[in-house]
């Protein structure tokens, strides 16, 4: 690989790490703003989104520059293509963190009901998925990417359970419907963040193996489910 291309790719990795760190921070602060009903922290999350958008554009421009100047092939080409896609997913995660922060602002006007423990657990799992998807990209870790893909089922199940429980609570306590609707929105946004983390994991698989797998979820789960590894009697 030409020396100049090595330097450009290293620079691109650092830019992605910087973007990922900002997105992870904003996501964590957004969840904290909801848990603590903190409108000031929510405003900080919303204000920082402009910086995330700026870096996302810079990463895309850097990728296009590498294409134009170096015409990468094989592994380098797959890496740049994957970075372009992952860059977009990170920006969308940043937008969803803003959505959560906006719900935190609304909820700050109310003190009941309390923050749901199951929602905090869900948020923790989702944040780990995002962090591990970036680690998988940087370390080219195929197993980690596959594990993230499988973890998305857990988030879908948690989101459904929360929607069922909160829907019942709205019927039992209509006086709290505004806050409960905000909690439903937070759950839905967390589920969408998990989808983007899963998308990143799929792009990592493409980057490593050169195979586009985003439309093969059913086949992937059939091969990787615990039942598929159970020895026959």
pLDDT tens profile 81-111: 999 999 999 999 999 999 999 999 999 988 7
Mean pLDDT over residues 11-29, rounded? 94
Q: Residue 73 belongs to what domain range?
A: 3-229
For residue 118, what are the contacts with CB-CB under 8 A and spacing of at least 6? 158, 161, 162, 165
What's the CATH code of the domain at 93? 1.20.58.220
Q: Judge contact between 150 and 81, C-beta under 8 A.
A: no
User: Which pLDDT band, with edges at 50, 70 and 90, does 124 fall under?
Assistant: very high
- C-alpha distance from residue 75 to each of 180, 182, 190, 223, 224 (Å): 48, 44, 32, 26, 26
pLDDT of residue 130: 95
8 A C-beta contact, residue 87 and residue 13: no
For the chain, the average pLDDT equals: 88
Region 158-180: mean pLDDT is 91
Residue 112 has pLDDT above 60, yes or no: yes
Q: What is the pLDDT of residue 230?
A: 46
Number of separate domains in the chain: 1
Residues 202-223: what's their mean pLDDT?
73
Residue 229 has pLDDT above 50, yes or no: no
> Residue 114 — very low, low, confident or very high, per pLDDT cuts 50/70/90?
confident
Q: What pTM, to 2 d.p., does this model score? A: 0.88
Exposure string of 151-185, with b = 16+ CB inside 10 Å and e = fewer, is bbeebeebbeebeebbeebbeeeeebeebbebbbb
Mean pLDDT, rounded, for 1-22? 87
Mean pLDDT of 181-195: 95
Q: Is the pLDDT confidence value at 227 over 70?
A: no
231 — pLDDT class (breaks 50, 70, 90): very low
With bands split at pLDDT 50, 70 and 90, how would you rate the model's confidence at 177?
confident
Rounded to whole angstroms, the Cα distance separating 69 from 94 reads: 30
Average pLDDT over residues 177-203: 94
| Res 224 pLDDT > 70 | no
């Amino acid at each position: 690989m030409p020396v100049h291309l090595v330097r450009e790719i290293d620079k691109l990795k650092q830019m992605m790490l910087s973007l990922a760190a900002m997105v992870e921070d904003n996501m964590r602060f957004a969840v904290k703003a909801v848990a603590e009903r903190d409108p000031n922290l929510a405003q900080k999350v919303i204000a920082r989104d402009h910086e995330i958008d700026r870096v996302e554009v810079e990463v895309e421009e850097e990728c296009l520059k590498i294409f134009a100047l170096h015409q990468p092939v094989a592994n380098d080409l797959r890496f740049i293509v994957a970075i372009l896609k992952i860059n977009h997913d990170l920006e969308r995660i940043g937008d969803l963190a803003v959505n959560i922060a906006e719900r935190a602002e609304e909820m700050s006007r109310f003190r009941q009901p309390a923050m749901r423990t199951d929602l905090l657990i869900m948020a923790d799992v989702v944040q780990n998925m995002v962090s591990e998807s970036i680690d998988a990209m940087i370390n080219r870790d195929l197993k980690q990417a596959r594990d993230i893909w499988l973890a998305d089922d857990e988030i879908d199940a948690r989101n459904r359970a929360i929607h069922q429980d909160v829907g019942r609570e709205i019927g039992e306590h209509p006086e709290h419907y505004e806050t409960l609707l905000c909690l439903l929105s937070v759950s839905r946004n967390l589920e969408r963040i998990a989808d983007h983390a899963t998308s990143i994991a799929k792009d990592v698989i493409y980057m490593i193996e050169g195979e586009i797998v985003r439309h093969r979820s059913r086949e992937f789960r059939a091969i990787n489910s615990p039942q598929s590894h159970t020895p026959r009697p």
